[in-house]
Amino acid sequence: MQLPLFNELGPTELTRLARATTEVSVPRGEMVFHRGDPCVGFHAIVYGQIKLMFVSTVGVEKVVRLLGPGDTFGEALMFMDKDYIVSAQALADTLLLHVGKAAVFTELDSHTGFARKMLAGLSQRLHVLMRDVEAYSLRSGTQRIIGYLLKSGPYKNGDRFRLEATKTVIASRLNLTPEHFSRIMHDLDSRKLIKIKGREITIVDIDELRRFHE
């Protein structure tokens, strides 16, 4: 797997980072870390799926991010020298690369391209966070769900795709209850905008979906 974050580094620099990198195999359902654990580097996903979440004292989850192959997480806290503020759990059998922060800081000191890419990644996270705040504050549940369904497009009528996680997890990510999420999904199905079969979604009327989203 190639990570865009590292593609400007030469063999010598990559070798140094590799010495500070460990493989972490996480079976489905297992935790990568818990809130309050020390952050001593960042993770990159080779394969599998990770959810980042808050967990209340009574066990209620709020999913804040769903991550897949090529995604990274933990960089911001690594720079801040803070403990993890969320917990991370594997939603599928997952292989991670954990890169130690000392090696990252060494490369940042000597490679402006690497520094720019890491800064761009953190800026993109902030942008996504701001979009989430806008959606939760100003957009309806239907608009949030349609935006989520169309985020990997562009799609045309007849295109099919599979939901990346269970409806409960996706509902939490969109700040909806599972019941509200299911009602909206069935409403979109009954209006013949999408067709639902388990976790498989078929786009039936892309123009009307976009109109609802706007």
Mean pLDDT, to the nearest integer, of 175-185? Answer: 96
What CATH class is the domain 4-137? mainly beta
CB 213 within 8 A of CB 148: no
Q: Of 187, 169, 186, which Cα lies nearest the Cα of 178? A: 169
pLDDT at 2: 64
Rounded distance between C-alpha atoms, residue 107 and residue 4, angstroms: 15
Residue 1 pLDDT exceeds 70: no
Rounded distance between C-alpha atoms, residue 2 and residue 124, angstroms: 19
**Helix, strand, or coil here: 171?**
helix
Q: Angle at the Cα of 185 (from 171 to 86), degrees rounded to 5?
A: 10
Residues of the chain with CATH 1.10.10.10: 140-213
Mean pLDDT, to the nearest integer, of 17-23? Answer: 93
What pLDDT digit, counting tens, does each position of 120-173 carry? Answer: 888 888 888 898 888 888 899 999 999 999 988 899 999 999 999 999 999 999
Provide, rounded to the nearest whole percent, the portion of the chain with pLDDT above 90: 70
What pLDDT digit, counting tens, does each position of 60-83 carry? Answer: 899 999 999 989 999 999 999 899
For residue 151, what are its two tokens? 């985020």
The CATH-assigned architecture of domain 140-213 is: Orthogonal Bundle (1.10)
CB 22 within 8 A of CB 97: yes
Rounded distance between C-alpha atoms, residue 157 and residue 149, angstroms: 13
Mean pLDDT, to the nearest integer, of 86-100? Answer: 96
Rounded distance between C-alpha atoms, residue 75 and residue 81, angstroms: 10
User: What Å distances lie between residue 173 and 54, 70, 98, 179, 195, CA to CA?
Assistant: 11, 20, 25, 14, 22
pLDDT at 110: 85
pLDDT band at 26 (very low <50, low <70, confident <90, very high): very high
Residues of the chain with CATH 2.60.120.10: 4-137
Which residue would you say has higher pLDDT here, 1 or 183?
183
Residue 201 pLDDT exceeds 90: yes
